[in-house]
A = this chain, B = another copy of it.
Amino acid sequence: MQALLVTQPENRRYLSGYTAEDHSAQESSGALLIPLRGRPLLLTDFRFQLHAESEAGAWYDIVLYQRGPVPLLVKLLPKLGLKRLAFESHAMMHATALRLAEALRPSGVETMGSTDLVERLRECKSEAEIELIRRAVWLNEDVFRECYKQLGPGMTEKEAARHIEATMLRLGAEGPSFPTIVAAGPNGALPHAVPTDRPIRQGEPVVIDMGVRLAGYCSDMTRTVVLGDPDRPTVERIRLVRQAQKAAMARIRAGAMARQVDRAARQTIATAGLGDRFGHGLGHGVGLAVHEAPYLNKRSRRQLAAGMVVTVEPGVYLPEWGGIRLENMVVVRPDGCELLNRDTTFLDI
């Protein structure tokens, strides 16, 4: 290939500093055209021109299209002498990729799909990126601590989630990094529950999974809290999940296999007879995207490397009863892991 067309929004931001977001998968705010030699280009439309120039203009030539990037590429690529264009196969719709290939064929330009080239670069964070992530983690914790104290019996899950998201904005977040989960009692048995109109009750576990975006970088944290005094089984399950989280964290260091870290948590939960109640992976990378590589699960063949930032989030889910999930974020370091969280609410009980 002689050039890479970057359409994945976080990749675009990572490589260019251009922060405009896509309204949807079908409404892009631009693409990068990065030739192997020569100055890279940012293709966008006039609505984003000033924005693009101010953020990426120092490194990128800003080129405007009127009818989308495809006709512009048809004009541009032959002029730049580019005959083989790689595009991001995982970040371009099938219909668009076909249209692009067809439009370029008459000019003798070949296209080929590539995957995860830039994602691999994004996996290991610089110290500057880690600092931004740390701020997002701390802001998230500030929001959590302010909000969980205001939870009261009778407040619905939806009300709690909205209050959390409003507080995120008030305390300075760009927004939630994903839709906030508040799942009380039986609803907590759904790891990705959507908040309902069910009121929260005294004594039941309430899973709160929340994250903010700040300067583009994400945080992600889960706590399971109880209004009033938790009963014996709840306390034991929280302790079990916390123990699993610690067992996993003890395995994290540069060079460790992702699946072994996952296994450490899974074995802890299995020894309590709840092995089949932890039905999701242990964690995932966090950066410009709230879910990104590497993934910590039993099928992974990845080795951890210094600078990766991952979540550690074991859980147990019992239909009818509810769920417990505890999630912290850590940085993979040469000799272990660095915890980014400071909050300890309902962690060591």
Chain A interface residues (CB < 8 Å from chain B): 19-21, 23-27, 29, 46-51, 67, 87, 89-98, 113, 115, 162-163, 165-166, 169-170, 172, 175, 178-179, 189-194, 279-280, 289-291, 299, 319
A98 touches which one: B48, B113, B163, B172 (CB < 8 A)? Answer: B113
Bound complex: CA of A165 vs CA of B166, how far in Å?
7
Contacts of A115 in B (CB 8 A): 95
- The oligomer's copy count stands at 2
Bound complex: CA of A292 vs CA of B7, how far in Å?
21
Please determine whether A47 and B192 come into contact, CB atoms closer than 8 angstroms.
yes
Bound complex: CA of A97 vs CA of B113, how far in Å?
12
Contact A23-B291, Cβ < 8 Å, known A170-B166, A189-B50: yes
Please determine whether B93 and A47 come into contact, CB atoms closer than 8 angstroms.
no
6 contacts between A and B (CB under 8 A): A23-B178, A47-B191, A50-B190, A50-B319, A90-B93, A166-B166
Please determine whether B25 and A25 come into contact, CB atoms closer than 8 angstroms.
yes
Bound complex: CA of A174 vs CA of B19, how far in Å?
25
A91 touches which one: B25, B27, B178, B193 (CB < 8 A)? Answer: B25
Contacts of A172 in B (CB 8 A): 162
Please determine whether B190 and A26 come into contact, CB atoms closer than 8 angstroms.
no
Q: Closest residue of chain B to A25, judged by CB? A: B25
A162 touches which one: B20, B67, B89, B169 (CB < 8 A)? Answer: B169
Contacts of A91 in B (CB 8 A): 25-26, 93
Contacts of A289 in B (CB 8 A): 24
- Smallest distance from the beta carbon of A10 to chain B beta carbons, Å? 9
Please determine whether A194 and B19 come into contact, CB atoms closer than 8 angstroms.
yes
Please determine whether B95 and A113 come into contact, CB atoms closer than 8 angstroms.
yes
Please determine whether B95 and A93 come into contact, CB atoms closer than 8 angstroms.
no
- Smallest distance from the beta carbon of A81 to chain B beta carbons, Å? 25
A179 touches which one: B21, B87, B90, B291 (CB < 8 A)? Answer: B21
Contacts of A97 in B (CB 8 A): 94
Q: Closest residue of chain B to A279, judged by CB? A: B46
Please determine whether B29 and A192 come into contact, CB atoms closer than 8 angstroms.
yes
Please determine whether B94 and A113 come into contact, CB atoms closer than 8 angstroms.
yes
Q: Closest residue of chain B to A67, judged by CB? A: B299
- Given A89-B95, A94-B96, 20 more pairs with CB closer than 8 A: A20-B192, A23-B178, A23-B291, A24-B291, A25-B25, A29-B192, A47-B279, A48-B192, A49-B190, A50-B189, A51-B190, A51-B192, A51-B193, A89-B93, A90-B93, A90-B94, A92-B94, A94-B97, A162-B172, A166-B170
Contacts of A51 in B (CB 8 A): 190, 192-194
Bound complex: CA of A113 vs CA of B115, how far in Å?
21
- Smallest distance from the beta carbon of A66 to chain B beta carbons, Å? 9
- Smallest distance from the beta carbon of A52 to chain B beta carbons, Å? 10
Contacts of A179 in B (CB 8 A): 21, 175
Contacts of A166 in B (CB 8 A): 166, 169-170
Bound complex: CA of A162 vs CA of B174, how far in Å?
8
